[in-house]
Structure 1
Amino acid sequence: MASEMNALAGAGVDAGDERVLRALLTRPQATVDDLATASGQHIDQVAAALARLSRRGLVARLAGPPALYTAADPRTALDALIHPAEQALRRARDAVAELTALFHTRTERPTAGPVEVVTGHEISRAFVRMQQSAVREVCAFDRPPYVHAAGNPVEPAVLARGVRWRAVYHPDALEPPGALADVRRLVDLGEHAQVLADVPFKMHLVDDRVAMVALDLDTATARTALVYPSALLEALAIVFESCWQRATPLDAAAGEEGVSDEDRQLLALLAAGVKDDAIGRQLGLSVRTMRRRVRRLLDLLGAQIRFQAGMEAARRGWI
């Protein structure tokens, strides 16, 4: 390894953090203890280094226990940090090729075909790496059950890099307490969120380059397919666009006097087919209060049934 150990100083990565990053790049995943041993640093120093590297998009923690970390492709992550006009950052750019070589020594695809099946913890690792490689756009179908945590800790960092993120949620994904609030936080960060009652399957499609598709919904025997450039990948992109056109937006800002943001959320959830008790939990309303508000909105829209109200609200640009 020919590079000096603080080659990434110009990108804001100090020598200790770089030692941790280099140790992680040679492994598919590692614990804090593993990296402390490999880098010759104290556990507390390594934990702090991982937090800093995570904020820079170089490292991500995998969902679920135990606390495991994996590295991103340095070329993608460091390109967002490096400014070619400064000499120190040019030196950091020169180190990217070496770090990328380390990354690819353990991420080469084991198959030459257009589809690769992954299982177990490799699903989370592949999911993190795929998101971190996004440059232009991520398109997602979101529906339970979830193999690990329902949340996605990587998405905020991807959005912060300016990557467009479009997500179509199944109504069941919005039913758990706090789920809608989590989606609204992602919308505030830049996600474009919609709801559709017949989301066909779970999928994440990155840059029309690779897709991750759940092959079954049994979390005990979860299998996921990674689909690479092929006619199948093109078909998945077409399916997503078709569903996106039919879905109901959750992030619309348009409205009318007397119609609050909460009213628009309620209308969007009704139009998407979310059940009454789930809507009440998400909005913090009793079933009685929610039904009274629904009646007011139906009257305001001149609608007789909820589906008609959703269609009319969409026509007026309320949702």
Structure 2
Amino acid sequence: MTGNRSALEAVGVDGFDEAVYRALLAGRDASPADLADRLGERTDRVRRALDRLRGLGLVSRLSGRRLRYTAAAPETALEALVRGQTARLQEVRTVAAELDSVFHSVSRADDAGAIDLLSGTEELGRWFVRLQHQVREEMLVLDRPPYALAATNPVEPASLARGVRWRAIYAPEALEQRGALAEIEQLAERGENARVLPGLRIKLAIADRRLALMPLGFDPDNMRPVLIRESTLLDALIDLFEHYWTRALPLSGSGAENPSIDPDLLALLLSGFKDDAIARQLGLSTRTMRRRMRRLMDELSADNRFQAGVQAAHRNWV
């Protein structure tokens, strides 16, 4: 099977990668070694295939120390790829429908009613990927740990490239993840509008103001995620996001009227980060960071962080 021509070549999936994807669909989630045993292939070759499939948004890496992957819903994931293609469109859609039937044969998602209770962390991660594939105009996100998937998000750049407006509010704890600030800066360059809000108490993703996904708790073993369709509850969650948005501090564009101001340092300073955490995010020694912070405080004529926030707001730097 791995040597055959793939019907998904038009969207960048060769025969071997399709075989890996099919094997993962049949088992819901698996490690590279598990899939290698099923296919009779080398583990390193399967791992490379999973990396390619992840880049296309077809699979996601689950959180945790052990390397495990789960498949995205085929119909929506492949449709997102098909929209950028013109050749062999009907052939790809036929395969997407076939793979989707395999996915739903092991899925327990119920589409009836305004609120669906999903089955756990894996389904939470799978639905978050699916929302990103389905969104057409706007995505609203409240982001904080813990994460169902790996912290990096390979699907969002593709959504931004399609012209999706993306607003994200991050808890300071999310920015303390290794490499998080650098990734957010890259996403900002692609169009994400990011802010930070201390004390963020929920995780939430809303696609096109029509469908929301959120966990009811933060215990990785008992997150109890729910899917919320158009309803007064969804309207209330949208209002809550907008309320948080007005209170949150921009993570990019701060200090635009004063080019000597470091916007990332200002944002982290006013978001309640400790000195060591700010230094770690900016890739500086604590001593160098404190020297820059002292210059910033002097520029603002502030003796403490509260005064710095008042002065920065007064000068329209935030």
TM-score bin (small chain): 0.7 to 0.9
Partner Cα distance (2:297, 2:27) in 1: 57
Structure 1 residue 37: deviation in Å?
Answer: 5.2
Partner Cα distance (1:83, 1:124) in 2: 23
Contact 1:196/1:246 (<8 A) preserved: yes
Aligned length: 314
Partner Cα distance (1:142, 1:148) in 2: 13
Query: Counterpart of 1:66?
Result: 66
Query: Any residues of structure 2 matched to 1:202-221 within 5 Å, and which?
Result: 202-219=203-220, 221=222
> Relative to 1, partners in 2 of residues 1:37 and 1:163: Cα closer, same or farther, differing over 3 Å?
farther
Partner Cα distance (1:20, 1:74) in 2: 13
* RMSD between superposed Cα atoms in Å: 3.5
Contact 2:7/2:91 (<8 A) preserved: yes
> Relative to 1, partners in 2 of residues 1:176 and 1:30: Cα closer, same or farther, differing over 3 Å?
closer
Contact 1:8/1:14 (<8 A) preserved: yes
Does residue 279 (structure 1) correspond to residue 278 (structure 2)? The answer is yes
Structure 1 residue 169: deviation in Å?
Answer: 1.6
Identify which range, 266-275 or 282-291, moves more after superposition: 282-291
Partner Cα distance (1:10, 1:120) in 2: 32
Structure 1 residue 242: deviation in Å?
Answer: 1.2
Does residue 29 (structure 1) correspond to residue 35 (structure 2)? The answer is no
Gaps spanning 5+ residues in structure 1: where? none
Structure 1 residue 279: deviation in Å?
Answer: 2.2
Q: What is the aligned-residue identity percentage?
A: 48
What does the per-residue CA deviation read over 1:165-221, in whole Å, with 9 as the maximum and x for residues that have no partner? 322122233345654334334334433210112323222223334333232334464
Partner Cα distance (2:193, 2:231) in 1: 26
What does the per-residue CA deviation read over 1:57-105, in whole Å, with 9 as the maximum and x for residues that have no partner? 2222222243322222334333343379855344323433333333333
Query: Any residues of structure 2 matched to 1:274-313 within 5 Å, and which?
Result: 274-285=273-284, 290-303=289-302, 305-313=304-312
What does the per-residue CA deviation read over 1:246-279, in whole Å, with 9 as the maximum and x for residues that have no partner? 211002165245514xx22222223223233432
> Relative to 1, partners in 2 of residues 1:79 and 1:213: Cα closer, same or farther, differing over 3 Å?
closer
Partner Cα distance (1:259, 1:267) in 2: 11
Partner Cα distance (2:277, 2:92) in 1: 50
Give the structure-2-normalised TM-score.
Answer: 0.79
Give the structure-1-normalised TM-score.
Answer: 0.79
Any idea what SS the aligned residue of 1:60 has? strand
What does the per-residue CA deviation read over 1:213-233, in whole Å, with 9 as the maximum and x for residues that have no partner? 232334464433333332212
Query: Any residues of structure 2 matched to 1:261-280 within 5 Å, and which?
Result: 263-280=262-279
Gaps spanning 5+ residues in structure 2: where? none
Partner Cα distance (1:244, 1:41) in 2: 49
Query: Any residues of structure 2 matched to 1:1-319 within 5 Å, and which?
Result: 6-36=6-36, 38-39=38-39, 41-82=41-82, 87-110=87-110, 112-113=112-113, 114-146=115-147, 150-152=151-153, 154-175=155-176, 178-219=179-220, 221-252=222-253, 255-257=256-258, 259-260=260-261, 263-285=262-284, 290-303=289-302, 305-319=304-318
